[in-house]
């Protein structure tokens, strides 16, 4: 048996109660019970918390933000084909003679006689 009030009652208090202390407590309880909610109620609760982000009372906003942070994050597993990379490997542009990166090759001062970048 759950020690929490019904989620519908908490959401109603969060959205409609005139007392900011009640709204803040409702948000706190929604966050505390977030791991026990089924998928439908969890989505309903997250939507209510998002709507409550415009509450004019700072204590309610703090409770709402804290509650949102307590919701379990859902990370989808990537599909196998997403991880495959058929592209050619990246090759750094480097001088064929000295091996230095192209950005560092100065053709005017290169000490190599056979520098391909000398004019």
**Using one digit for the tens of pLDDT, what is the confidence trace for 3-45?**
888 899 999 999 999 999 999 999 999 999 988 989 899 999 9
Q: Are residues 60 and 96 in the same domain?
A: no
Q: Are residues 64 and 113 in the same domain?
A: no
Q: Are residues 25 and 58 in the same domain?
A: yes
Output the pLDDT for position 1. Answer: 42
What does pTM read for this prediction? 0.59
Output the pLDDT for position 78. Answer: 56
Q: Are residues 20 and 57 in the same domain?
A: yes
Q: Are residues 50 and 97 in the same domain?
A: no
65 assigned to some structural domain: yes
87 assigned to some structural domain: no
Q: Are residues 58 and 102 in the same domain?
A: no
Q: What share of the chain is helix, strand, coil (3-state, %, to 5)?
A: 50, 0, 45
Mean pLDDT of 39-58: 92
pLDDT at 90 over 50: yes
- For residue 67, the Cα-to-chain-centroid distance in whole angstroms is 16
Output the pLDDT for position 80. Answer: 57
Name residues whose C-beta falls within 8 Å of residue 110's C-beta, 6 or more positions apart in sequence. 98, 117, 118
81 assigned to some structural domain: no
User: In which domain, by residue range, is 113 found?
Assistant: 92-119
Percent of the chain with pLDDT strictly greater than 70: 76
Q: What is the CATH number of the domain that holds 51?
A: 1.25.10
> What does the alpha-carbon distance between residue 36 and residue 27 come to, in Å, rounded to a whole number?
15
In sequence order, the β-bridge partners of residue 94 are 101
85 assigned to some structural domain: no
Number of separate domains in the chain = 2
Mean pLDDT of 45-50: 92
Q: Are residues 64 and 96 in the same domain?
A: no
Mean pLDDT of 59-76: 86
């Amino acid at each position: 048996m759950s020690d929490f009030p019904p989620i519908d009652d908490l959401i109603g208090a969060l959205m409609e109660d005139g007392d900011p202390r009640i709204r803040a407590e409702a948000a706190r309880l929604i966050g505390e019970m977030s791991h026990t909610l089924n998928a439908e109620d969890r989505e309903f609760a997250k939507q209510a918390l998002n709507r409550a982000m415009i509450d004019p009372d700072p204590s309610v906003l703090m409770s709402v933000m804290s509650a949102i942070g307590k919701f379990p994050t859902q990370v989808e597993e990537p599909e196998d084909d997403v991880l495959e990379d058929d592209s050619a490997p990246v090759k750094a542009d480097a001088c064929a003679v000295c091996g230095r990166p192209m950005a560092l090759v100065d053709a005017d001062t290169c000490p190599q006689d056979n520098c391909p970048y000398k004019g």
